[in-house]
Amino acid sequence: MPLDDIVAFVAASFLIALSPGPGTAVVLRQSVHGRKAALATVFGMEVGVACWAVAAALGMSVLLTASEIAYHGLRIAGAVFLVHLGVKALISRSLPGAAPPPASRAFRSGLVVNLANPKLGVFAISFLPQFVPAGEAGQGVLLPLAVGWVLIDTVWYLVIVAVLHTVRGWLGRPRVRPALEKLSGCVLLALGVRLVLDPR
């Protein structure tokens, strides 16, 4: 793969990672409970990204564009889960010093948020093939690209977690923590509603 294509791929992947979405909102909410919960959320999200990336590399996620039932079923499931997380955050009464949620629950939240997002699968189908050089075998290039995409996305979210960890004292203040819970809850609710209303 030519160096210019590699640079273009890294730049594009980084810009995509910068785009805020459900994952950012979930990480923000979990960061209120500490770095361990935030990291578990990130790793869950990246397992979800890896599943879609590998599925796209193997040509499996094309089923989402071929089957309206599969796409819309997954879309509704993802929207319901986002709304669930949003409502949970809005009614949360977490206080400083309260026990954080288990890492397994945070991991599961991150995983489901990305696995239940059909747009991520459709995006993977359209994004990765753009960087396959003409005349080269698809899967032989797509799988390394999928790994690279996941790594770049992971690095970005780890940076976010590190930044949030540096201001953990401020995040844990009695007035700030509930406000962040409510803010992330509103964002998750809005994303869930948008996923329902936006058919594609």
Q: pLDDT by residue (tens digit) across 167-185?
A: 776 666 667 777 777 777 7
pLDDT category at 95 given cuts 50, 70, 90 is very low
pLDDT greater than 90 at residue 200 = no
Percent of the chain residues topping a pLDDT of 90? 10
Q: Around Cβ 104, how many Cβ atoms within 10 Å? A: 10
Q: Which residue has the tokens 């910068």?
A: 18
| HEC per residue, 125-149 | HHHHHHHCCCCCCHHHHHHHHHHHH
Q: Could you tell me which of 176, 53, 28 has the C-alpha nearest to residue 109? A: 28
- pTM score: 0.76
Q: Please tell me whether residue 1 adopts helix, strand or coil conformation.
A: coil
d(CA 187, CA 193): 10
Interaxial angle between packed helices 138-166 and 22-31, expressed in degrees from 0 to 180 and rounded to the nearest 10:
40
- Looking at residue 137, its pLDDT comes to 54
Closest Cα to residue 113, out of 55, 30, 180? 30
How far apart CA 32 and CA 3 sit, in angstroms, is 40
- Average pLDDT of every residue of the chain: 79
Angle at 110 between CA 153 and CA 62, to 5 degrees: 70
Supply 108's token pair: 């599961």
Amino acid at 198: D
Q: Residue 52 carries which side chain, given as an amino acid letter? A: W
**Residues 152, 143 contacting (CB under 8 angstroms):** no
Separation of alpha carbons 130 and 12, rounded Å: 11
